[in-house]
Amino acid sequence: MGPLEITGSVRLVLGLVTGILFGFILQKAQVTKYEKIVGFFRLTDLTVLKVLLAGILSGMVGVYALHNLGLVNLHIKPTIIGANVLGGLIFGVGMLLLGFCPGTCAAAFGEGRLDGLFRGVVGILIGAGLYSEVYPFIQDNFLKLGDYGKLTIPALLQVNAWSVIIALVVVMGGFLVWLDRTGHRRSTEEFAGRKHPGGHTVVPR
Amino acid sequence: MNWLRKDEWPWWQAGLLLGLLSMATFYTADYYLSTSTTFSRVAGMLLGLVAPEHVAANAYWQKVKPLVDWQFMLVIGIPIGAYLAARLSQGIVHFSAQLPDLWVSRFGASRGQRWAVGTLGGILVGFGARLADGCTSGHALSGGLQLAVSSWLFLAAMMLSGVVTAALVFRRV
């Protein structure tokens, strides 16, 4: 029982194959575009949100089922309210300005969009490096601010995991279906309308 | 196999596949879909080229060692998969560093400005992901599906600040 134990170079090949499948899905979901990511934050094109929430919902049912069967371990990241919230706030501003997150930036590169790669990867590397440099300071401050360890929503509410999963599937699933029917795709159409017949974008002066 | 040649899969199909891939990842790798730790490792590798003692002495790089691991290979795989997906639907993949249409219509065609804002955004993405201990894949998707409180806090915070910033930045469009 438990997950497979794959080590050594086979594990590296497994990582590569997993990444290829991940990148394939991200491209086919069309979340690899600046317009889609920015549209998510402008609430004009919610493709990113819909794909993300649908992934969370199907994944939570599947992974918790496998966990109940004893086939997988959960890997819960520690809840440190100060670090999770402040990190998330900083990340959101950066993701809007860059128009990509690390995964979609890598996928956008594969489909030929070098914008995120050129303007993003250098920054992400600097930001990650900077964090290592200030880590000793952060370790004594933000990483102790509201530290609750590996906390899950069912543990917090003291209920069975499946109560939470079923509730989320009903509420978020309903929300997704509603979103799909109201059709939040304004930005795509907005931009189709701004183009010259030749396909060049009009630059406003 | 026409399905593989489609330009876009409906959101629910892509989401379902992300869920299935997550299940496979937990089972085969005893890990979860995630990318941003690799950027820390690469930053450590690059800095290690000029200052190896400095990197070796750093507390974070002692924890997150600058080496090639499963996730590093996953990050290498992502563009390969995206290339194959684009190739199947478009026939040919044209690589171009063209600025996004939406960017140009809002900020103009200055590449310098895009470099400056994109790099700043990248720095915030890289730093924020490390501080929160994950990004859109490791936290929002993988942590969210595990019902981790940390990940839902991250997702809520990132959406809040992203939406507020978008409202400020794109006010005049």
Q: What is the pLDDT of residues A135-156, one digit of tens each?
A: 999 988 878 888 999 999 999 9
Q: How far is CA B92 from CA A33, A111, B66, B87, B95, in A?
A: 18, 10, 35, 5, 10
**CA dihedral of B4, A115, A106, A88, whole degrees rounded to 10:** -120
Complex ipTM over 0.95: yes
CA distance A82 to chain B (A): 9
Tell which residue, B32, B114, B105, B13, has the closest CA to residue A117. Answer: B114
Give residue A145's pLDDT: 83
CA distance A95 to chain B (A): 6
Per-residue pLDDT of chain B (173 residues; tens, 9 = 90+): 799 999 999 999 999 999 999 999 999 999 999 999 999 999 999 999 999 999 999 999 999 999 999 999 999 999 999 999 999 999 999 999 999 999 999 999 999 999 999 999 999 999 999 999 999 999 999 999 999 999 999 999 999 999 999 999 998 65
Sequence-separated (6 or more) residues with CB below 8 Å from residue B76: A16, A19
**Closest-CA residue in chain B for A205?**
B108
Q: Is the per-residue pLDDT at A168 higher than 60?
A: yes
Give residue A143's pLDDT: 82
Cβ–Cβ below 8 Å for A22 and B33: yes
Cβ–Cβ below 8 Å for B68 and A12: yes
Q: How far is CA A196 from CA A34, A202, B101, B167, in A?
A: 20, 7, 12, 27
Domain ranges of chain A: 32-76+152-182, 82-147
Cβ–Cβ below 8 Å for B154 and A87: yes
Give residue A134's pLDDT: 96
List CB contacts (< 8 A) between B165 and chain A: 41, 92-93, 96-97
Chain A 37-66, residues with CB within 8 Å of chain B CB atoms: 38, 40-43, 47, 50-64, 66
Cβ–Cβ below 8 Å for A16 and B73: yes
Distinct helix (H) and strand (E) counts, chain B: 10, 0
Tell which residue, A105, A30, A114, A96, has the closest CA to residue B78. Answer: A105
Chain A 87-126, residues with CB within 8 Å of chain B CB atoms: 87-104, 106-116, 118-126
Q: Show the beta-strand stretches assigned E in chain A.
A: 79-80, 147-149
Cβ–Cβ below 8 Å for A90 and B128: yes
Of B22, B27, B170, the CB nearest to A42: B170
Predicted confidence band of residue A201 (pLDDT cuts 50, 70, 90)? very low
**Closest-CA residue in chain B for A75?**
B31
Predicted confidence band of residue A31 (pLDDT cuts 50, 70, 90)? very high
Of A61, A96, A152, the CB nearest to B162: A96
Token readout for A179 is 């979103």
Of B108, B122, B157, the CB nearest to A85: B157
Cβ–Cβ below 8 Å for B82 and A110: yes
pLDDT digits over A45-102, tens only? 999 999 999 999 999 999 999 999 999 999 999 999 999 999 999 999 999 999 999 9
pTM of the model: 0.92
Q: Is the per-residue pLDDT at A190 higher than 90?
A: no
Query: Per 3-state DSSP, what percentage of chain A is helix, strand, and coil (rounded to 5)?
Result: 70, 5, 25
Pair B44, B63: CB distance under 8 Å: no
Q: Is the per-residue pLDDT at A184 higher than 60?
A: no
Token readout for B103 is 């960017």
